[in-house]
Amino acid sequence: SQQGEEDPQALSIQEGENATMNCSYKTSINNLQWYRQNSGRGLVHLILIRSNEREKHSGRLRVTLDTSKKSSSLLITASRAADTASYFCATGPEADTGRRALTFGSGTRLQVQP
Amino acid sequence: NAGVTQTPKFRVLKTGQSMTLLCAQDMNHEYMYWYRQDPGMGLRLIHYSVGEGTTAKGEVPDGYNVSRLKKQNFLLGLESAAPSQTSVYFCASRDSGTGRSGELFFGEGSRLTVL
């Protein structure tokens, strides 16, 4: 079963606009990660936010985490055509619960129109 | 430093045939994983390994077997392929050290079609 679910499933914006993707999860977590997947390629790690953090920045990426609502959001500012990809949230692994693997959501497909 | 390498990248099988996917990593990672990715389903964990000589079942292990005879290699086998196993398979690895983020490093995927 999916631990994380992204929303929306697909998003189309113009270059220069901001893109926001949301992720909801079901169980308690120690951290949450976001990954990016270009078409036909493997996933690449973007950013990790720990359960005691509320917000984290990395370049044009901003991630928020609300553990009370079991949700996270990924904001890409000033989007570029090269940001076109699928974005996945993932939870785990967590040594204290024995979860040794990341569990992924179904992803948001982002299309940035030039 | 190649990271995670998967072979083959593409394969077409007939129902009932067998094959093995090879994953190799050069980062000395303890943990290795096999996921499958299907449209609209995200990634689902098939099997994983927490060290040389160990394997464990994931979310969708049926029809697959794995082996981790060497730390750097993780093999995924299909003994009798079925059309339902048509998918893109991803191998990933990560470090097991304390304080690590749990970041996964992925291969480029192996696209398998079973006719």
φ/ψ (deg, to 5) at B84: -65, -10
Strands B110-114 and A4-7: unpaired
A25 touches chain B (CB under 8 A): no
The dihedral through the CA atoms of B68, B69, B71, B75 has a sign that is negative
Which residues are registered as beta bridge partners of B83?
A: none
Q: What letter would DSSP give residue A63?
A: E
Q: What is the largest CA-CA distance in chain A?
A: 45
Give me chain B's average pLDDT, please. 93
CA distances in angstroms from A107 to A11, A85, A88, B33, listed in the order given: 11, 10, 4, 19
Alpha-carbon Rg of chain A, whole angstroms?
A: 14
Note whether B43 contacts A43, CB cutoff 8 Å. yes
CA A69 to chain centre: 16
Give the per-residue pLDDT at A60.
97
Q: What is the pLDDT of residues A41-61, one digit of tens each?
A: 999 999 999 999 999 999 999
d(CA A25, CA A16): 29
| B43, B102, B105: residue with CB nearest A31 | B102
Give the per-residue pLDDT at A99.
63
d(CA A102, CA A111): 25
B26 touches chain A (CB under 8 A): no
Q: What three-state secondary structure class fits B100?
A: coil
Q: What is the mean pLDDT of residues B49-66?
A: 94
Q: What is the pLDDT of residues A56-99, one digit of tens each?
A: 999 999 999 999 999 999 999 999 999 999 999 999 766 555 56
A10 touches chain B (CB under 8 A): no
Asked whether the beta carbons of A88 and B42 are under 8 A apart, the reply is yes
B88: nearest CA partner in chain A: A40
CB pairs under 8 A between A and B: 57
Q: What letter would DSSP give residue A94?
A: B
Give the per-residue pLDDT at A98.
59
Give B17 to chain A, closest Cα distance, Å: 25
